[in-house]
Structure 1
Amino acid sequence: MQIKSLLKEIEQSGDVILFVKEVHHLFDAATSGARSFTYILKHALERGVIQCIFATTENEHRIHMENDMTLKRLFQAVKVLEPSIEETIEILKGLRGTYETHYKLHYTDEALVAAANLSQQYVSDRFLPDKAIDLIDEAGSHVQLCHAKNKKKGNVSIPSVKKHDIQHVVSSWIGVPVSDVSKEEGESLLNLEVMLHKHVIGQNEAISTICRAIRRARVGLRNCRRPIASFMFTGPSGVGKTELANALATNYFGSKDSLIRLDMSEYMDSYNAARLIGAPPGYIGFDEGGQLTESIRKKSHAVLLFDEIEKAHSDVFNLMLQILDDGRLTDGKGQTVDFKSTLIIMTSNLGNSIIEGMIDNKENSSSFDHKKNLVMEELKHHFRPEFLNRLDEIIVFKELTKKEVEEIVNIMLREVCQKLMVKEIHLSLTCRFREHVIQHGYNPSYGARPLRRTIAKFLEDTLAENMLRKEIKEGDSIIVDVNVEGNVVVINQKNVKREEYHFTSFVDSVGNFLADEKRKDVVSGISCNLVGKMLDILGHRKSP
Structure 2
Amino acid sequence: MSQPFGGGFGPLEELVGGLLRTFEQSLTDDRVGRDRDDRDRDDPGGGPAAPRPAPPRPRARTPRLDRYGRDLTDAARRGLLDPVIGREDEVDQVLEVLGRRTKNNPLLVGDPGVGKTAIVEGIAQRVVEGRVPPALRGVRVVALDLAGMVAGTKYRGDFEARITAVVDEVVAAQRSVVLFVDEVHAVVGAGSAEGGALDAATILKPALARGDLQLIGATTVEDHRKHIARDPALERRFEPVRVAEPTVEQTVEILRGLRERYERHHDVTIGDDAVEAAARMSARYVPDRFLPDKAVDLLDRAAARARLRSADDDRDEDDVLRRIAQLARARDVAVDAEDYERAEELTKEIGRLSAVEPRPVLTADDVAAAVARSTGIPTARLQAGEAAALLDLDARLARRVVGQDEAVAAVADAVRRSRAGLAGPDRPAGSFLFLGPTGVGKTELARTLAEALFGSEDRLVRLDMSEYGDRSSLTRLVGAPPGYVGYDDAGQLTEALRRHPYSVLLFDEVDKAHPDVLAVLLQLLDAGRITDARGRTADVSHAVVILTSNIGAGSLQTGRPVDDVREEVLIEARLRLRPELVGRVDEVVPFAALTAADLTRITGLLLGATRERLRERGVELELSDAALAWLADRGHRPELGARPLRRTIAREVDRPLARMLLAGELRAGATVRGDVRDGALEFVAV
Q: TM-score, normalised by structure 2?
A: 0.61
Aligned to 1:83: 245
Judge which range, 45-54 or 264-273, deviates more.
Answer: 45-54
Q: CA deviation at 1:307?
A: 0.9
After TM superposition, list the pairs within 5 Å mapping 1:17-416 onto structure 2.
17=179, 19=181, 21=183, 35-36=194-195, 41=200, 44=203, 81-85=243-247, 88-107=251-270, 111-145=274-308, 152=316, 155-157=356-358, 160-176=361-377, 185-356=386-557, 358=558, 364=559, 366-416=560-610
Q: Deviations over 1:144-168 (max 9, x none)?
A: 3455566636533555545454344
Distance in 1 between the 2:309 and 2:664 partners? 55
- SS class of match (2:153): helix
Aligned to 1:441: 635
Are 2:429 and 2:542, in contact at CA under 8 Å, matched by a contact in 1?
Answer: yes
Judge which range, 92-101 or 143-152, deviates more.
Answer: 143-152
Tell me which amino acid in the other structure corresponds to 2:618.
E
Are 2:636 and 2:644, in contact at CA under 8 Å, matched by a contact in 1?
Answer: yes
In the alignment, structure 1 residue 457 sits paired with structure 2 residue 619:
no
From 616, 620, 625, the equivalent of 1:426 is 620
Q: CA deviation at 1:490?
A: 4.1
Distance in 2 between the 1:59 and 1:448 partners? 51
Are 2:503 and 2:543, in contact at CA under 8 Å, matched by a contact in 1?
Answer: yes
Distance in 1 between the 2:567 and 2:252 partners? 52
Are 2:205 and 2:234, in contact at CA under 8 Å, matched by a contact in 1?
Answer: no
Q: CA deviation at 1:291?
A: 1.0
Tell me which amino acid in the other structure corresponds to 1:439.
D
Distance in 1 between the 2:197 and 2:436 partners? 61
Q: CA deviation at 1:38?
A: 8.2
Q: Deviations over 1:439-488 (max 9, x none)?
A: 22112332111111111222223334555x54556537363646644344
Structure 2, unmatched stretches of 5+, are 1-150, 171-176, 321-355
> Which has the higher relative contact order, 1 or 2, with Cα contacts under 8 A spaced 6 or more apart?
1
Q: CA deviation at 1:27?
A: 7.6
Tell me which amino acid in the other structure corresponds to 2:672.
I
Distance 1:7 1:74, change over 3 A: farther
- SS class of match (2:493): helix
Are 1:181 and 1:219, in contact at CA under 8 Å, matched by a contact in 2?
Answer: no
- SS class of match (1:427): strand
Distance in 1 between the 2:655 and 2:402 partners? 26
Distance in 1 between the 2:383 and 2:227 partners? 51
Aligned to 1:541: none
Q: TM-score, normalised by structure 1?
A: 0.76
Q: CA deviation at 1:407?
A: 0.5
Judge which range, 404-413 or 44-53, deviates more.
Answer: 44-53
In the alignment, structure 1 residue 2 sits paired with structure 2 residue 165:
no
Distance in 2 between the 1:182 and 1:35 partners? 53
In the alignment, structure 1 residue 475 sits paired with structure 2 residue 668:
yes
Tell me which amino acid in the other structure corresponds to 1:288.
D
Q: Deviations over 1:254-293 (max 9, x none)?
A: 1111111111111122221232222223322222222111
Distance in 1 between the 2:259 and 2:592 partners? 57
Distance in 1 between the 2:196 and 2:253 partners? 38
In the alignment, structure 1 residue 12 sits paired with structure 2 residue 213:
no
Tell me which amino acid in the other structure corresponds to 2:411.
I
Tell me which amino acid in the other structure corresponds to 1:12.
A
Distance in 2 between the 1:90 and 1:142 partners? 23
Q: CA deviation at 1:11?
A: 3.6
- SS class of match (1:227): coil
Distance in 2 between the 1:378 and 1:11 partners? 73
- SS class of match (1:353): helix
Are 2:188 and 2:199, in contact at CA under 8 Å, matched by a contact in 1?
Answer: no
Are 1:234 and 1:396, in contact at CA under 8 Å, matched by a contact in 2?
Answer: yes
- SS class of match (1:137): helix
- SS class of match (2:488): helix
Distance in 2 between the 1:24 and 1:10 partners? 14
From 486, 499, 515, the equivalent of 2:679 is 486
Are 2:471 and 2:514, in contact at CA under 8 Å, matched by a contact in 1?
Answer: yes
- SS class of match (2:535): coil
Aligned to 2:106: none
Q: CA deviation at 1:200?
A: 1.0
Judge which range, 159-168 or 207-216, deviates more.
Answer: 159-168
Tell me which amino acid in the other structure corresponds to 1:130.
D
Tell me which amino acid in the other structure corresponds to 2:245.
P
Are 1:259 and 1:305, in contact at CA under 8 Å, matched by a contact in 2?
Answer: yes
Distance 1:70 1:35, change over 3 A: farther
Q: CA deviation at 1:91?
A: 4.2
Distance in 1 between the 2:268 and 2:217 partners? 36
Judge which range, 368-377 or 157-166, deviates more.
Answer: 157-166
Distance 1:429 1:236, change over 3 A: same
Are 1:246 and 1:256, in contact at CA under 8 Å, matched by a contact in 2?
Answer: yes
Q: CA deviation at 1:348?
A: 1.2
Are 1:135 and 1:170, in contact at CA under 8 Å, matched by a contact in 2?
Answer: yes
Tell me which amino acid in the other structure corresponds to 1:387.
L
Coordinate RMSD, CA, aligned: 3.8
Are 1:263 and 1:308, in contact at CA under 8 Å, matched by a contact in 2?
Answer: yes
Distance in 1 between the 2:549 and 2:525 partners? 17
- SS class of match (1:195): helix
Distance in 2 between the 1:382 and 1:225 partners? 27
Are 2:451 and 2:459, in contact at CA under 8 Å, matched by a contact in 1?
Answer: yes
Decide which structure has the larger Cα Rg and report it: 2
Count how many residue pairs are aligned between Structure 1 and Structure 2.
481
Are 1:27 and 1:37, in contact at CA under 8 Å, matched by a contact in 2?
Answer: no
Are 1:241 and 1:347, in contact at CA under 8 Å, matched by a contact in 2?
Answer: yes
Distance in 1 between the 2:357 and 2:415 partners? 42
Tell me which amino acid in the other structure corresponds to 2:607.
L
Structure 1, unmatched stretches of 5+, are 359-363, 494-537, 539-544
Q: CA deviation at 1:74?
A: 10
